[in-house]
Structure 1
Amino acid sequence: MEAHVGEPLNRKRYERKLRELHAELVKLQEWTKHAGAKICIVFEGRDGAGKGGVIKALTERVSPRVFRVVALPPPTEREKSQMYVQRYLPHLPAAGEIVIFDRSWYNRAGVERVMGFCSEEQAKSFLEVVPNVEKAIVESGATLLKYWLEVGQKEQTKRMEERINDPRKIWKLSPMDLESYSRWYDYSRARDEMFRSTDTAWAPWFAVHSDDKRRTRLNIISHILASIPYEAPPREKIKLPKRQKSKGYEEPDLARNWVPDIA
């Protein structure tokens, strides 16, 4: 994959554009509720590719009751005995919901396969089955969008080193991340086969080079908005009512303990 070459996006321009996109995301949210739409968005990519930052930018100005983020923990022993995609199905959107998968059923095609948590036979069986599962999701009336974030080797190294050295980011680093970092080309081969098997007409993959975090966030949010035929639903003009009169009410000293003002 040839990396996108462009000027780094400055903060002022980024924040201005992001404000515009946030306003459109609110329109999408209100339309989704009004129309009873079902929207499912899948984010996959290498460790350090920026999935979390995209999801945060996508959801920071909308309602978590409509935009639901799903990031499942490792499967339980019971879930391990189920059909593989079964644990994900209850999280699919109902009418009026937008569900965002921060990693998804594609764990089987990526980390589980590369790290040996499933057999080659299980991985290949998954790749054969999942296109039909996704076809059923789409035929149920849901919009399914799948994004792969591709970070370059140099930028991934920089981000991993930040996780090691920045106390605000150390929680993002796990032994699994370090092991997957060393297996760059195993992940590349797994990604390539995943694309060949699951990039379908009804559920295509959309890839984005994610070395520039700001550009990545704007591009993905813009693409989501362009992929859904939403429109602003009807809305009555809102006017604040007058507050009631106090009728002699006086504010008491609210509490014995106040949070100190350290700012």
Structure 2
Amino acid sequence: MQIENLTNEQQKEALINYSENIALEQYQAELVKLQQHIERYKLKLIIVFEGRDAAGKGSVIGSVSRYLNPKHYRIVALGRPSEEERTQWYFQRYVKHCPHGGEVVLFDRSWYNRAMVEPVFNFCSEEEHEIFMKHVVPFEESMVDHGTVLVKLYFSVKKEKQALRFEQRRTDPLRQWKLSEIDLQAQSMWEQFTTTKYNMLKQTNHEKAPWYVIRSSDKHKARLETMKLILSQIEYDGKSRAIDLTPDAKIVFTASQELKLMDIHKLNNIDKL
């Protein structure tokens, strides 16, 4: 449809979308260069995408991977463990999906299910959760020591925005498949998820694989800042010197910064992070 046939509001939205896509494409082009560098030098990159339901993880993953060579990257989104997997070492089902040399793996949720979703919904025992929290940092340190670059991203959405996105899923026939039984409970269990988020960031942030928190109520800014952050992790051949990788301080936070904000909010009886 020609833009002149659209209403003023539709034209405005179309122009905003066009502008946002242009802004993203320069970073997506750099991601292609980064992937080629990883393939050329047989590097290994894992990017972990965590966060509350409807935090926009899928949207960001789609933008990050849009122009990548599908032969050299994988998106891993595991379902519930099988009966056999329940008897295995917890990390085993994730290890088999880790990259070989020259590959990028994007985990749409990861082993951190045991730090967030499972304890909130009692899908694991307290002992299983404690064992995970004790061993996850050494597990990641070993992974990094053996040559894997590990980037951990937590997407933070406001409670009101999460509710709006759930409603959009409920009423949009193209999005209804995204709405699960767990999603329907997420709003009522907001405080529990806040507590587990705090504990996870505090206990599993470490020098070899720090957490980065990305405000994702604005999906475009979340996509943009995620790409910038990924591109800043590895020096790669052909990197454009004109590209700006400076993080937006209103969107990207270190774990330490987020924990301080959460402490302040707790003192003031505010729970929005």
Partners of 1:118 and 1:214 in 2: how far apart?
35
For the Cα contact (< 8 Å) 2:159–2:187, is it kept in 1? no
1:145 pairs with 2:159: no
Number of equivalences? 226
Say which SS state the counterpart of residue 61 (structure 1) adopts.
coil
- Normalised by the size of structure 1, how large is the TM-score? 0.83
Other-structure match for 1:15: 21
Partners of 1:166 and 1:16 in 2: how far apart?
27
1:210 pairs with 2:219: no
1:122 pairs with 2:128: yes
Other-structure match for 1:259: none
When the two chains are superposed, the root-mean-square deviation of aligned CA atoms in Å is: 1.5
For the Cα contact (< 8 Å) 2:60–2:223, is it kept in 1? yes
- Report the AA paired with residue 184 of structure 2: L
Partners of 1:183 and 1:228 in 2: how far apart?
37
C-alpha deviation, 1:179, in angstroms: 1.7
For the Cα contact (< 8 Å) 2:51–2:156, is it kept in 1? yes
Partners of 1:180 and 1:108 in 2: how far apart?
16
Query: Which of residues 101, 104, 121 is equivalent to 2:107?
Result: 101
For the Cα contact (< 8 Å) 1:127–1:198, is it kept in 2? yes
Q: Mapping of 1:219-234 within 5 angstroms?
A: 219-232=225-238
Partners of 1:204 and 1:13 in 2: how far apart?
32
**Higher relative contact order, structure no. (Cα contacts within 8 Å, ≥ 6 residues apart):** 1
C-alpha deviation, 1:204, in angstroms: 0.4
Other-structure match for 1:249: none
Partners of 1:180 and 1:159 in 2: how far apart?
12
| Greater Rg over alpha carbons, structure | 1
Say which SS state the counterpart of residue 174 (structure 2) adopts.
coil
Runs of 4+ in 1 over 6 A off after TM superposition: none
Other-structure match for 2:117: 111
1:139-186 deviation digits (Å, cap 9, x = unpaired): 001100000000001100100000000111000001111122320000
1:73 pairs with 2:113: no
Query: Which of residues 30, 40, 45 is equivalent to 1:39?
Result: 45
Other-structure match for 1:245: none
Partners of 2:76 and 2:199 in 1: how far apart?
25
- Report the AA paired with residue 82 of structure 2: T
- Normalised by the size of structure 2, how large is the TM-score? 0.80
1:55 pairs with 2:100: no
Say which SS state the counterpart of residue 28 (structure 2) adopts.
helix
Say which SS state the counterpart of residue 192 (structure 1) adopts.
helix
- Report the AA paired with residue 200 of structure 1: H
For the Cα contact (< 8 Å) 2:35–2:68, is it kept in 1? yes
Q: How much identity, in percent, do the aligned residues show? A: 42
1:183 pairs with 2:193: no
Say which SS state the counterpart of residue 148 (structure 1) adopts.
strand
C-alpha deviation, 1:73, in angstroms: 1.4
C-alpha deviation, 1:62, in angstroms: 1.1
Partners of 1:184 and 1:96 in 2: how far apart?
39
Greater fraction of residues in helix: 2
- Report the AA paired with residue 233 of structure 2: S
C-alpha deviation, 1:89, in angstroms: 0.3
C-alpha deviation, 1:66, in angstroms: 1.2
Query: Which of residues 158, 161, 171 is equivalent to 2:167?
Result: 161
1:71-117 deviation digits (Å, cap 9, x = unpaired): 11110000001111111001111100000000000000111110000
C-alpha deviation, 1:65, in angstroms: 1.7
- Report the AA paired with residue 201 of structure 1: E
Structure 1: segments with no counterpart, 5+ residues: 1-8, 234-263
Partners of 2:16 and 2:154 in 1: how far apart?
24
Partners of 1:23 and 1:210 in 2: how far apart?
22
C-alpha deviation, 1:12, in angstroms: 3.2
